[in-house]
């Protein structure tokens, strides 16, 4: 089945998820407007494409997710969380975080392909999402320097994770654990992690069927967000 080509207008609809090819590719084209991105996430779809490629839209099956009350914290990480001089903030440096996520790196605990898809068009689109209150970042600081973090998109009581980076041992893990704990307090039960990685699996993420994923996120996205300010309690 050929991949559906979307026109660059918001009202051009995504095809049914069942039309995705085996690796999850669903459609191409369209645009990265805030309206289209929010519409995509609520339908279980996300953009992922190279700098010189057309916009590609994905909905893999199975889907990697992390339940916020099931984050795995090893003994060594628990010790780090107790003793580390790293401080954590939310939404203090979104542009810095997404830019850091886009830089080439060889960190085995992060996605080494990030630099191929977090390019200027993507960065601009997600900065707009952040400015409109939809995208959020978690930052890890050491001696005033940004050393790790992550970002994603929140709709209702659902958080869609996008990427993380680490420039200091365990900093991205600290960001994820802190995010899970805070989201759990706020009533967010689930983080979308998109596709399988052994790193995320080691932290408690698991794969579920796409149909199960959609059944869970649909009511969560429809809930009225009760978070008045994205900041750590």
* Max CA separation in the chain (angstroms): 54
pLDDT tens, residue by residue, 74-128: 999 999 999 989 999 999 999 999 999 998 765 444 444 444 679 999 999 999 9
The answer to whether residue 233 sits within a structural domain is no
pLDDT grade for 202, boundaries at 50, 70 and 90: very high
Same structural domain for residues 91 and 44? no
DSSP alpha helices (H): ranges in the chain? 34-42, 75-83, 94-102, 114-117, 120-131, 171-186, 198-202, 210-222
pLDDT over 90, % of the chain: 84
Chain centroid to CA 147: 18
Same structural domain for residues 111 and 191? yes
The answer to whether residue 178 sits within a structural domain is yes
What is the pLDDT averaged over residues 20-40?
96
Residue 106 half-sphere exposure toward CB, CA atoms < 13 A? 0
User: By residue range, what is the domain housing residue 122?
Assistant: 64-222
The answer to whether residue 209 sits within a structural domain is yes
Distance CA 181, CA 204 (A): 13
- Contact (CB, 8 A) for 154 and 136: yes
The answer to whether residue 96 sits within a structural domain is yes
pLDDT tens, residue by residue, 122-161: 999 999 999 999 999 999 999 999 999 999 999 999 999 9
Tally of domains within the chain: 2
Same structural domain for residues 165 and 98? yes
Same structural domain for residues 37 and 102? no
pLDDT over 70, % of the chain: 94
- Contact (CB, 8 A) for 132 and 34: yes
Same structural domain for residues 88 and 193? yes
Same structural domain for residues 76 and 126? yes
From residue 156, alpha-carbon distances to 74, 142, 191, 194 in Å are 30, 32, 12, 18
pLDDT grade for 42, boundaries at 50, 70 and 90: very high
Cis peptide preceding 202, ω within 30 of 0 = no
Same structural domain for residues 50 and 129? no
The answer to whether residue 230 sits within a structural domain is no
Same structural domain for residues 24 and 93? no
Predicted TM-score (pTM) above 0.75: yes
Average pLDDT value for the chain: 92
């Amino acid at each position: 089945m050929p991949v559906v080509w979307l026109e660059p207008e918001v009202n051009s609809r995504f095809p049914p998820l069942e039309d995705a090819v085996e690796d999850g590719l669903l459609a191409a084209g369209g645009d990265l407007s805030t309206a289209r991105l929010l519409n995509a996430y609520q339908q279980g779809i996300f953009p992922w494409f190279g700098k010189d490629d057309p916009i590609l839209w994905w909905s893999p099956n199975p889907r990697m997710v992390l339940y916020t009350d099931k984050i795995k914290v090893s003994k060594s990480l628990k010790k780090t969380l107790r003793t580390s001089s790293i401080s954590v903030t939310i939404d203090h440096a979104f542009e810095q975080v997404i830019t850091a996520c886009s830089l080439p790196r060889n960190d085995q605990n992060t996605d080494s392909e990030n630099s191929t898809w977090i390019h200027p068009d993507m960065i601009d689109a997600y900065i707009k999402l952040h400015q409109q209150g939809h995208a959020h970042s978690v930052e890890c600081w050491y001696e005033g320097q940004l050393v790790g973090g992550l970002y994603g998109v929140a709709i209702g009581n659902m958080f869609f994770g996008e990427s993380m980076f680490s420039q200091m041992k365990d900093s991205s893990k600290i960001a994820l654990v802190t995010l899970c704990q805070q989201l759990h307090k706020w009533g967010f039960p689930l983080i979308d992690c998109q596709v399988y990685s052994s790193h995320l699996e080691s932290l408690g993420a698991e794969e579920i069927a796409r149909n199960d994923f959609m059944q869970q996120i649909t009511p969560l996205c429809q809930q009225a967000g009760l978070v008045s300010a994205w900041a750590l309690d």
